[in-house]
Amino acid sequence: MQTDSSFTFVLFGGTGDLSMRKILPALFEAHRAGGMLAESGKIFAVARHVADRAGYLEWVNEHVKPHVSKNGLDETAWASFLDRIEFVKIDLGKPEDFVLLRDAISGLPGIRVFYLATGPSLFVPICHALASVGLNENSRIVLEKPLGYDLKSSNAINDAVGEIFAEEQIYRIDHYLGKEPVQNLLALRFGNVLFEPLWRREWVESIQITIAEELGVEARGDFYDNTGALRDMVQNHLLQLLSIVAMEPPHSMDSDSVRDEKLRVLRALKPIDPRDIGKVAVRGQYHAGVIRGHAVPAYATEPGVKPDSTTETFVALKVEIENWRWAGVPFFLRTGKRLADRVAEIVVNFRAVPHSALGASALRGGANRLVIRLQPNETIRLYCLAKQPGEGMNLASVHLDLAFDRFFREGQMEAYQRLLLDVINGRLALFVRRDEQEAAWRWVEPILNEWAASNKPPKPYAAGTWGPAAASAMLAQHGTCWLEEEN
């Protein structure tokens, strides 16, 4: 992915956790790879917690280096990366300070990228301040989630940002769309004749999408207690992955063709009747438990969390898509904190053969499945039945590994690295369009409203487990189970 595109990358929230753990490490990896970032490209960090460039570089050395030196750090590349970085001290509450930013970057060649690694309450003020000094021209703006609290607040932010930046200038980032296995899912489906004929209701029994975390809310208790798992993970990450899995083949891989097909999926989601929410939606909240031998506290005792909080830290949903390809196929979505393992995966369970001369094991649904693992190790596995060695026709499950590292010498690109390069180079396909976001909010809101109106607390589950038993019972009603329960 070579580029000659000159750019100025302006990072708001330049001392924040996201900038330290993800954004700057991703830019460093692109820099170290050589040829991915134009040599003239500059990075301007914006913050008010340090005094000057020297202080900021000291901050970067302390907080970014640990995230880029796990496999050894090339000190020469690191030093040349730091040469790209400039610093502008700005109080985001003072629009007049943005003159300092304008003066610092005026005259620099190429596109301007403004990355808003801040809270969503600052998105609109920052955009207005950029426009007030003429920095909304020849520019792109990256918005981190969460973009609003509900459909109304999301529309308010989009309306305000849309008055300043055109839709093609706005990059709403969802880093799961930049992960290598998601890209390979598109390649498998649309680059090979093998899977596409099977990718439909006649041959698929069910699909599971899981994003599980071992961590709790950490230092984000104040934020999370006003958000919850449905807003934090389902409305964006899980529904975006669902739309990628279920979309029709696009006309091409250009940005609007891909996003048009994703939008069709989101608009085809079967609305959840509030009377049925107890059957198709499970919400839970973790209590004290043990993870990898360490005792962890209950959610309600975490710093910043109200002791009587009814915020969900776990969600499991049964989702249906009302179109010809997927009618009747259940999609099971699940996400949670303080679960038994850190894993993100997509499981496509194919139907059993209609008749088998080889025994009952061949008639079991899910004997053939495709497992796309997004984290912690990014792999794709195709499971099938094979004869066990020895006497008799005894079948056992085996898997074929799609080990891309054996075929390609280049290492896998991290999600943020891919997406940041796409922003710099003007590729929108892996970013969320406004109408996609609105469709997701419209589908999620009835669940939010019903839970808010209900007096029922979330179902408890012990930290270090896979969530409330009700999530397993929901799948059992459909004659299936979560992947880890089968294993």
pLDDT at 411: 67
pLDDT at 133: 95
In this structure, the number of other CB atoms found within 10 A of the CB of residue 384 comes to: 13
What percent of the chain shows pLDDT beyond 90? Answer: 72
- C-alpha distances out from residue 220 to 119, 216, 380, Å: 12, 9, 32
177-413+433-486 CATH: 3.30.360.10
179 labelled binding-site residue: yes
pLDDT, tens digit, 9 for 90 and up, residues 209-246: 999 999 999 888 898 999 999 999 999 999 999 999 99
pLDDT, tens digit, 9 for 90 and up, residues 82-135: 999 999 999 998 999 999 999 999 989 999 999 999 988 899 999 999 999 999
Residue type present at position 227: T
483 labelled binding-site residue: no
232 labelled binding-site residue: yes
Average pLDDT over the chain reads 91
Q: Do domains 7-144 and 177-413+433-486 have the same CATH topology?
A: no
48 labelled binding-site residue: yes
Which active-site residues does the annotation give?
A: 237
- The domain segmentation of the chain, as residue ranges, is 7-144, 177-413+433-486
Classified by CATH at the fold level, domain 7-144 comes out as Rossmann fold (3.40.50)
pLDDT, tens digit, 9 for 90 and up, residues 127-167: 999 999 999 999 999 998 878 899 999 999 999 999 999 99
91 labelled binding-site residue: yes
Q: Which residues of 61-85 are buried (b: 16+ CB within 10 A; e: fewer)?
A: eebbeeebeeeeeeeebbeebbebb
Binning pLDDT at 50, 70 and 90, where does residue 2 land? very low
213 labelled binding-site residue: yes
More confident residue, 327 or 399: 327
pLDDT, tens digit, 9 for 90 and up, residues 247-258: 999 998 888 999
pLDDT, tens digit, 9 for 90 and up, residues 365-381: 668 899 999 888 888 89
Q: How far apart are CA 21 and CA 38, in angstroms?
A: 23
Tokens 């088998």 sit on residue: 356
Instruction: Kindly state the average pLDDT of the residues 429-435.
Output: 95
202 labelled binding-site residue: no
